[in-house]
Amino acid sequence: MEKDIQSIMKQVDERQEELLDLLKTLIRFRTPAPPARNTEEVQAYIASFLKNKGFDIDTWDVYPNDPNVVGVLKGKESDAYQSLMINGHVDVAEIGEDEQWEVDPFIPVVRDDVIIGRGAADMKGGLAGALFAIQLLFEAGVELPGDLTFQSVIGEEVGEAGTLECCKRGYEADFAVVVDTSDLEIHGQGGVITGWITIKSENTYHDATRRNMVHAGGNLFAASAINKMVKILNGLEDLERHWAVTKSYPGYPPGTNTINPAVIEGGRHAAFIADECRLWITVHYYPNETHETVAKEVEEHILNVAAADPWLKENPPLFTWGGTSMIEDRGEIFPSLEVDENHEAVNLLANSHQHVTGAEVIKGVSQSVTDGGWLGDAGIPTAIYGPGDTFNAHSVNEQLSISQLIDYTKIMIKFIYEWTHTAKTKQGVSANHDPSAENASSM
């Protein structure tokens, strides 16, 4: 096996122009989100690509013109060998009107050792490398004993969680790799949840009555919702500081768990006292926390703040958490993900990395978030591992190292082969295996 797999991996060098052409093709599909609703063509391309490699294809609209694509390649001995899921998103970061790109962001440019274009790093490079690895295995006549599932999803950039929809549809595997931007490091991640805190009065008053609610003898039990939101803002800042000194997680600088007061809306007209004020917050939390427990902590703290204020005590703040889309309902959730560094698939991935690069893989945590948390939340052991770095993700003149893409593609060839050749025990735990005893042409 080793000799045959090495031969397949060598083809990545020999055919790197084909790999780059595949990535260029993916970049040319204009799929920024927002505005979204623009991935139908690229998803049709990926579905056709996978179908031609023997995958059974499932496609459905998550939103109009934004379909998910899942390809499943059934293994020869599915019950006996481990299954693998590869996951990635086709939407890319939006393009600002004032961004000064060298050329059209969707016309890829190759220069020196980089390819430039929107999505090169985040994360069409990861998709291209994984797809090309599958292509080379297929062309070599490799038949995997374990199942291989490829998920090409929508909506990651705007919290629409195409990956969650795949989980709801019942897709699962013994291990999943999210091929998102990680600079070829094996990552877990913290999580993100957005929320709305609303202060609302039962009564609305003309602004001429303001003196009656703020001066002695006014005899009016009332308040401006905007004024009262200041106390909520101060309370959130106190909680954020408390978290910074009481919580930590390896790999993160102190105070990474933040509460960002991102948007504030309130009042109806200059002639009225503000009877409602809404605050949109984003909360970042650590991999060993859940969005439910973090949201509960925020609520409990803010309700305590409100209880100390006579008016807020009678008009307590209301909370709305999460959402399914930053576009549709202005809310999102990215669950956290902890990687089991002792999982056999993680060790195989690390060994594949070292075999190709000659260096030990770094196991750490993402400074951003991906859809990986949804897979972990569904009970699928998962790791984030892909080419590209977060410095380039979402950046002007976004680019990806070609050398890193080539290494990544080789690593995926070796890992896909080895993990799907890992035998299951009756308990579902991997048994020791010897891939070298397999025949790569009749797996």
- Going by C-alpha positions, the residue among 99, 97, 185, 151 that lies closest to residue 368 is 185
Q: Distance between terminal CA atoms of the chain? A: 10
Which residues are designated catalytic? 91, 156
14 to 8, 9, 110, 199, 215: CA distances (angstroms) = 10, 9, 17, 63, 81
CA contacts within 13 A on the Cβ side of 244 = 12
Please tell me the distance from the alpha carbon of residue 166 to that of residue 379, in angstroms, as a whole number. Answer: 13
- Going by C-alpha positions, the residue among 332, 315, 331 that lies closest to residue 198 is 315
Contact 78, 146 (CB under 8 A): yes
CA contacts within 13 A on the Cβ side of 77 = 11
